[in-house]
Amino acid sequence: MIKGSIVALVTPMIADTLKVDWDALERLVEWHIEQGTHALVAVGTTGESATLNVDEHSQVIKTTVNMSKGRIPIIAGTGANCTKEAIELTQAAKNAGANACLLVTPYYNKPTQEGLYLHYKTIAEAVEIDQILYNVPGRTACDMLPDTALRLSLIPNIVGIKEATGDLERAKKLINESPEDFAIYSGDDHTARELILLGGHGDISVTANVAPRLMSQMCSAALNGNAQQAFDIDQKLLPIHDAMFIESNPIPVKWAVNQLGIISGAIRLPLTQLSTSNQVKVKQALSDLSLI
């Protein structure tokens, strides 16, 4: 089971062309390994999966796996609102050597709970790789209810869920009623510490893009049951949690990683650069934590 601080990695792009910046991607991977990050998600929502074509999507996964050289688990974002496309992306991730896949609920379609169950069951049966469900109704307009997730948890290669509602009562139900080897990850940085202390297994994090060492330390403390240490670190991180969602993700986090000097701030339409007024706020949050 993958545990701890799992970075929902940004996809760096070249400013002039908006092509994927492979050199910057390698710098990111190396930096996160050095900072103590426990795992990486390549091409999730934060990785601009919606604006990468299928070839780019598959190549970013393959390249991230190759760059990691087995030193850190790589989870590939392979969800889609078309079951066939999700199978193709998941198979490509398996072929690339990813450790697991993260599959967001089908967006826009608004499937029923039975449709969600059959969607994930079909992908799991088609591709023999560990698969993690991803529920983020605020972005997808599709809410996978706990009972549906619990049904899916009985499928052998569906091994966890990223629950991004921030609803701790829902998380508690999943933790208490799912199989022991089924991982419950937070997808909400603001409530991740509490979810882990309830018995969750980690945080698939946006904040960890800019504060990886602190996020790693916070998750480790919570996993070890050291509630006070986890609280103290989380209090330091709170302004960063706020800043990373001051505009739609990944607009703020991509600008912030650029401020660290690792990547350009290039981002593809329909996303735009962080507004000038919010740049001041994000920069202040980074500065207050001595990140820049």
pLDDT at residue 284, rounded to an integer: 97
Q: How far apart are CA 98 and CA 101, in angstroms?
A: 7
pLDDT at residue 90, rounded to an integer: 98
Q: Give per-10-residue mean pLDDT for the chain (292 aa).
A: 97 96 97 98 96 95 97 97 96 97 96 98 98 96 97 98 96 96 97 98 98 98 98 98 97 98 96 97 96 94
pLDDT at residue 107, rounded to an integer: 95
Give the CA-trace dihedral at 146, 244, 59, 29, to 10 degrees: -110
Three-state secondary structure call for residue 20: strand
Strand partners, 4: 202
pLDDT at residue 129, rounded to an integer: 98
Active-site residue set: 134, 162
Pairing of strands 39-42, 4-8: parallel
Residue 11, burial from CB neighbour count under 10 angstroms (0-12, 13-18, 19+): buried
- Please, where are the H alpha helices in the chain? 22-35, 54-68, 83-96, 113-126, 137-140, 146-152, 168-177, 192-197, 212-223, 227-243, 251-259, 276-288
Task: State both tokens at 215.
Answer: 């996020």
**If we measure between CA atoms, which residue out of 157, 167, 198, 204 comes closest to residue 185?**
204
Count of other CB atoms within 10 angstroms of residue 93: 29
Q: Which amino acid is at 122?
A: T
Give CA angle at 274 (42, 56), nearest 5°: 30
pLDDT at residue 228, rounded to an integer: 98
pTM confidence score: 0.96
